[in-house]
Amino acid sequence: MAEAPTRARHVVVGWTLAAAAIAYLDRVCISTAAPAIRADLGLSDGEMGLVFSAFTLAYALFEVPSGWFADRFGARLTLARIVVWWSVLTATTGFVWGFASLLAVRFLFGVGEAGMFPASARAFGRWLPRGERGRAFGLAIMTAALGGALTQPLVVALLARTSWRTAFVVFGSVGIVWAVGWWRWFRDEPADHAGVNAAELHIIVAGRGESPHFESVPWRLVVQNRTLLALCLMYGAAIYGWYFYLTWLPTYLLRARGFDLAHVGWLAALPLVSIAAGVFLGGWASDRLAGRLGSRRGRRVAGLVGFPLAAAAAVAAVLTPRPGLSAGLFAAAAGLAALGVAPAWAVCVEVGGAHSGVVSGAMNMFGNLGGALSPLVIGFSLQRFGSWQAPLLSVAALYVAAAFLWLGIDPGRRIAVGEADVPIAAAAS
């Protein structure tokens, strides 16, 4: 009788889900605590926008180096290093004394957290067959969003009992436990893990294809790859709006829509719950559609449908005079835009192959450059013009741009040494 395959690869996905949740727990807590931080440290709207963007800018700039590090040294070391770093910097946020120190700590936080999702992409590329990757990325980003959603009311509850400084120290302690467990359990290669039997190893290797553990990055081919360029621009347009929900939304609901802090904690969580549903549905649908239609068409559908609908919802959210409807429409816009996120990460693994860390790092770098721009635009618009409307309508405009850019994304055009922009065989779909 044939041996039943073990399920260690699913445990790997579980570890990455936990890391993603902790990342957003630590990343999002500053948005809900922002009014208290501003009041305590005497920050202006423009300075708070710079603080929000410092993390995102550093995160963007170090994505490609961290992705290369994951390709070179493996996901085990990379993710352990990342989680310890960001946990220490989260706790350190509670000890800042002014604008300059807060800006420096948030920048260093971004430096350390950069590469988490590219390192996860590296782990998925080695541990998961192609047909399971879209769902895995959807689950990982879904869990990140749910972690962020849980953070909003949790921070409100903590602020009612203690200071924002103590809240950051509490959140910073969680990741250390994860890092110790990950280091002890995970191995970069399934064949080296005691929990993987021969039947599961066959499923993994047959489904992923073999590729070198590490080879020099063909940077010229990376830069010239047209699908990667479209991915980068699309992701920058998509994540521009995402960072409004992670940074300024609680302040918008307080100041522009008149909600009190208790309601804001829950209403600001709604877009993140909606994002969680959107990324899971988008990842699941892209796996199913890629199996039926091929990767080129199947991976595109979620983005081509979701982004135009997200743009319409965002415009309606800005223009409606009803505060509750505005909060609901922003949640809908967030979820619809998220449909196109998980398929993009699956495309990175298909296009990148042995260089999936670098490729996904490049895409996420552009995403977070867009994310860094968003809070700056909003903060300085508020400080100079006192206006929310124009910067929030720019979110909708970039959603439309993201939909058009999906038309230029083809997972069949991979990066390989000596093979620039060459379609993958149909079997790879």
How is 274-312 classified by DSSP, letter by letter?
Answer: HHHHHHHHHHHHHHHHHHHH-HHHHTTHHHHHHHHHHHH
Which residue from 269, 266, 341, 340 is spatially nearest to 308, judged by alpha carbons? 340
Instruction: Classify residue 428 by its DSSP letter.
Output: G
What's the rounded mean pLDDT across residues 33-46? Answer: 86
Which residue from 289, 401, 378 is spatially nearest to 56, judged by alpha carbons? 378
Q: Contact at 8 Å (CB) between 190 and 202?
A: no
For 202-207, the CB contacts below 8 A with 24+ separation are: 202/5, 203/5, 203/9, 203/129, 204/9, 204/127, 204/128, 204/129, 206/129, 207/128, 207/129, 207/130, 207/131, 207/132
**10 Å Cβ neighbour count for 97?**
9
Report if pTM > 0.85. no
Phi and psi at residue 420, to the nearest 5°: -90, 125
| Residue 356 within a domain | yes
What's the rounded mean pLDDT across residues 112-128? Answer: 87
Rounded distance, CA 92 to CA 101, Å? 10
Phi and psi at residue 218, to the nearest 5°: -80, 80
Tokens of 294: 């091929």
What's the rounded mean pLDDT across residues 278-303? Answer: 87
Helices (H), 340-388: 341-352, 356-385
Rounded distance, CA 66 to CA 63, Å? 5
pLDDT band at 376 (very low <50, low <70, confident <90, very high): confident
pLDDT of residue 172: 84
| Residue 285 within a domain | yes
Instruction: Classify residue 5 by its DSSP letter.
Output: P
How far are the Cα atoms of 19, 70, 171, 381 from residue 82, in angstroms, in the given order?
Answer: 10, 11, 15, 34
Which residue from 174, 196, 8, 199 is spatially nearest to 90, judged by alpha carbons? 174
Judged against a pLDDT cut of 50, whether residue 87 lies above it is answered with yes
Phi and psi at residue 419, to the nearest 5°: -145, 85
Judged against a pLDDT cut of 50, whether residue 270 lies above it is answered with yes
**How many residues are recorded in the chain?**
429
| Phi/psi-derived region of residue 189, left when phi > 0, alpha when psi is between -120 and 50, beta in every other case | beta
CB under 8 Å to 401, separation ≥6 — which residues?
233, 234, 237
Amino acid at the residue 395 = V
Q: Contact at 8 Å (CB) between 347 and 17?
A: no
Residue 321 three-state SS: coil
Structural domain of 231: 8-428
| Residue 1 within a domain | no
Rounded distance, CA 207 to CA 210, Å? 9
Judged against a pLDDT cut of 50, whether residue 420 lies above it is answered with no
Place of tokens 């835009």: 337
pLDDT of residue 396: 95
pLDDT of residue 92: 92
Q: Contact at 8 Å (CB) between 422 and 416?
A: yes
pLDDT band at 304 (very low <50, low <70, confident <90, very high): very high
pLDDT of residue 72: 86
pLDDT of residue 54: 87
Residue 284: give its domain's CATH number: 1.20.1250.20
pLDDT band at 369 (very low <50, low <70, confident <90, very high): confident
What's the rounded mean pLDDT across residues 38-66? Answer: 85
Give 316-344 pLDDT, tens digit per residue.
Answer: 999 999 988 999 999 999 999 999 988 99
Rounded distance, CA 152 to CA 148, Å? 7
- The mean of the pLDDT values for the chain is 85
As for how many domains the chain has, the answer is: 1
Rounded distance, CA 265 to CA 32, Å? 7
Judged against a pLDDT cut of 50, whether residue 421 lies above it is answered with no
Amino acid at the residue 332 = A
Q: Contact at 8 Å (CB) between 352 and 360?
A: yes
Buried b (16+ CB within 10 A) or exposed e, 359-369: bbbbbbbbbbb
| Residue 2 within a domain | no
pLDDT of residue 215: 61
What's the rounded mean pLDDT across residues 211-221? Answer: 65
| Residue 3 within a domain | no
